[in-house]
Structure 1
Amino acid sequence: MYFIIVVRMWFVAAVCILLEVGALPSRRAGFTCNDPALSYPHTGDTFSISLVAAITVIVPYLVLWAVETTLQREDEYLKKSKLLTSAKTAAFIYRDYIYGSVFNLTILEVVKCVVGSPRPTFFDLCQPDKASTCNDSEYVSNYRCTSTKYSRYLQIDSSRSFPSAHASLSIYCGLFLAWYLQRRAFSWHNRSVLLVPLLQILCIVYAAVCSLSRLSDHRHHWWDVLVGGAMGALSVLYTVLVLCKNFSQPAVVSTSDISSSDGNNHQSVRRLLSSDAHVVVP
């Protein structure tokens, strides 16, 4: 069952990559001649798509593993390694997180290719052949990019402004981790009360700064960022409530939770732990 799900996820991810690089056909919307909203120079990205992808994929698992390791209770009867047990627990949550991110990315790519909206840097990246011959505010629907300054990928990407993938992915990642930390914070009885809020602030700041940088870099219009952020937030709701069941995953039984004062209870605990039994944390 899990193998089929993984294969499907890889297939969807491959289709998204093909759409992103222009290997599959997509729609290109027209432009208005001399439109000042599309005339900004291309100055690059504060957060590159490679950096956002790396943060979205790598950082959450490291955070999940670190938190689950910290929350793992020491128990003399547990034979499994603490790091291994916490790694497996984190992997189950991470699996659902990745599934939600692929779901989010798929919708983003489909909408981008269907809408085909030009970016604020459209004229600089594409240099459409009709831009020099059109008059006043004439609408041009058929054109060809003639830029020799930028790569073919950037020319294709110049017509994929709506919605913002950076905003969607960063908000998805940041809100997911903030929500996860909040749900797991009830077990941090002996930790600093400021640690969880500090980590949550870092998550929210990353999501906000990455999203707003798309405006300061003139890579998106404000409505691109707004809709992309909304899609990321809705994807978080779907992931944490439907896929992760609000993080009510099972936990390994610990003898510290079982009060025993006689030998029979003591032996029962040993047999229970030796059979790798699990219970659900209320």
Structure 2
Amino acid sequence: MTTSMSSGAMKIVIDFCCFLSVGIGILYLMLFTEPYERGFFCNDESIKYPFKISTISTEAAAFFAFFIPTFGMLIGEIFHGYKSTSKVNREFCKRRVPTWIVQVYQKVGLFAFGGLVTILMTETAKNSIGRLRPHFIDVCQPNIDCKNGSYEFQYKYHTNFTCQNEDRKKLWDDSRKSFLSGHSSCMMYGMVYFALYLQLRVTWKGSKLLRHSLQIICLWFSWYVAMSRISDHMHHWSDVLAGMLLGTIVALINAFCVADLFKERQCVDKDHHQRSPAEQNMSNDMTDSPIMISK
């Protein structure tokens, strides 16, 4: 028992250290680093769009990408633990811990870690590449006379310039963080992961479309947020595409390789096939609820 307790405590300490290391990396990038100072061409039309207020704010995107899936998984695991026929508790520090708490720790904890990794990789790209946003000229208003029509001046790569738009001084650094889209990467990560979680937990046989409709809503909304970043002149289309790919890849790796979401389903299915027909019919009757019940 002592060995089991110490092993459990060690796992929690290691998990905490992993969270802390990724979190420190994110804070360092956000607070103590500046984006790469890339120059521009006067004839580059892609950075001359007007500045617009975001349709989906950063706070709103974070809410939908992280809070909604976390809340959904919390409710799902509580309901799953309540309906489950397996009531075996685990012990930690000489106290019994309900199975649903362990499941919440695993599901939500690994989801949160993947979210931090997504943010870390996004911020690394933003600062190391320094791509100019579509509204860079409007926000910066560099002290370069781009109205000079000479061929040499128009095609010169300008690096020695100073921004003059004092009204938007706080956005000068942010206007150099176009690649890749953080809204797109975080939304795709959160929604793709949550859609996979719904595939695991929502097994109600009363409707074949309920689960898939919920999954489509998740993917549709993440797609909408990503597309809004282009129409809001916040990102180039390639920034959004890269962000969507990053978020999707991290979600798939986390779901299938780290959290291994469907390992539980495989164990249940294997146990189900080993039962007699009468036992399988009883199990089917018990699992006919919106949340999967497993022994």
TM category, shorter:
0.7 to 0.9
Residue 216 of structure 2 is aligned to residue 216 of structure 1: no
The TM-score, its normalising length taken from structure 1, stands at: 0.78
Where does residue 20 of structure 1 map in the other structure? 30
- Matched to 2:228, the amino acid is S
Residue 221 of structure 2 is aligned to residue 206 of structure 1: yes
Alignment of 1:27-46 (within 5 A): 27-46=36-55
Aligned-pair distance for 1:10? 3.1
What SS does structure 2 have at the residue aligned with 1:161? coil
Aligned-pair distance for 1:193? 3.1
Decide whether the 8 Å contact of 1:100 with 1:238 is kept in 2: no
Alignment of 1:88-167 (within 5 A): 88-130=102-144, 135-152=153-170, 154-167=171-184
In structure 2, C-alpha distance between the alignment counterparts of 1:77 and 1:3, rounded to whole Å: 28
In structure 1, C-alpha distance between the alignment counterparts of 2:69 and 2:84, rounded to whole Å: 27
User: What whole-Å deviation, never above 9, does each CA across 1:77-109 have from its counterpart, x for those lacking one?
Assistant: 9498xxx75454233111111111111221111
Alignment of 1:68-107 (within 5 A): 68-72=77-81, 74=83, 78=87, 85-107=99-121
Of 167, 171, 177, the residue aligned with 2:188 is: 171
Note the aligned Cα RMSD (angstroms).
3.0
Any stretches of 5+ residues in structure 1 without a counterpart?
260-280
What SS does structure 1 have at the residue aligned with 2:154? coil
- Matched to 2:143, the amino acid is D
In structure 2, C-alpha distance between the alignment counterparts of 1:93 and 1:76, rounded to whole Å: 20
Where does residue 58 of structure 1 map in the other structure? 67
Aligned-pair distance for 1:133? 7.8
Q: Structure 1 residues 110 and 72, CA, compared in 2 at 3 Å: closer, same or farther?
A: same
Q: Structure 1 residues 193 and 181, CA, compared in 2 at 3 Å: closer, same or farther?
A: same
Aligned-pair distance for 1:195? 2.2
Where does residue 92 of structure 2 map in the other structure? none
- Matched to 1:33, the amino acid is C
- Matched to 1:231, the amino acid is L
Of 240, 257, 262, the residue aligned with 1:225 is: 240
Aligned-pair distance for 1:73? 5.1
In structure 1, C-alpha distance between the alignment counterparts of 2:177 and 2:184, rounded to whole Å: 14
What SS does structure 2 have at the residue aligned with 1:150? helix
In structure 2, C-alpha distance between the alignment counterparts of 1:236 and 1:156, rounded to whole Å: 29
Decide whether the 8 Å contact of 1:52 with 1:170 is kept in 2: yes
In structure 2, C-alpha distance between the alignment counterparts of 1:142 and 1:206, rounded to whole Å: 41
In structure 1, C-alpha distance between the alignment counterparts of 2:202 and 2:167, rounded to whole Å: 51
In structure 1, C-alpha distance between the alignment counterparts of 2:14 and 2:83, rounded to whole Å: 36
Q: Structure 1 residues 216 and 92, CA, compared in 2 at 3 Å: closer, same or farther?
A: same
What SS does structure 1 have at the residue aligned with 2:261? helix
In structure 1, C-alpha distance between the alignment counterparts of 2:137 and 2:42, rounded to whole Å: 10
In structure 1, C-alpha distance between the alignment counterparts of 2:218 and 2:54, rounded to whole Å: 20
In structure 2, C-alpha distance between the alignment counterparts of 1:76 and 1:164, rounded to whole Å: 44
- Matched to 1:239, the amino acid is N
Alignment of 1:181-200 (within 5 A): 181-186=198-203, 188-189=204-205, 191-200=206-215
Aligned-pair distance for 1:13? 2.4
In structure 2, C-alpha distance between the alignment counterparts of 1:76 and 1:115, rounded to whole Å: 53
In structure 1, C-alpha distance between the alignment counterparts of 2:118 and 2:84, rounded to whole Å: 40
Where does residue 240 of structure 1 map in the other structure? 255
What SS does structure 2 have at the residue aligned with 1:228? helix
Q: Structure 1 residues 13 and 129, CA, compared in 2 at 3 Å: closer, same or farther?
A: farther
Count of residue pairs brought into register by the alignment: 251
Q: Structure 1 residues 217 and 24, CA, compared in 2 at 3 Å: closer, same or farther?
A: same
Decide whether the 8 Å contact of 1:34 with 1:131 is kept in 2: no
- Matched to 1:43, the amino acid is K
In structure 2, C-alpha distance between the alignment counterparts of 1:75 and 1:214, rounded to whole Å: 43
In structure 2, C-alpha distance between the alignment counterparts of 1:236 and 1:65, rounded to whole Å: 18
Where does residue 273 of structure 1 map in the other structure? none
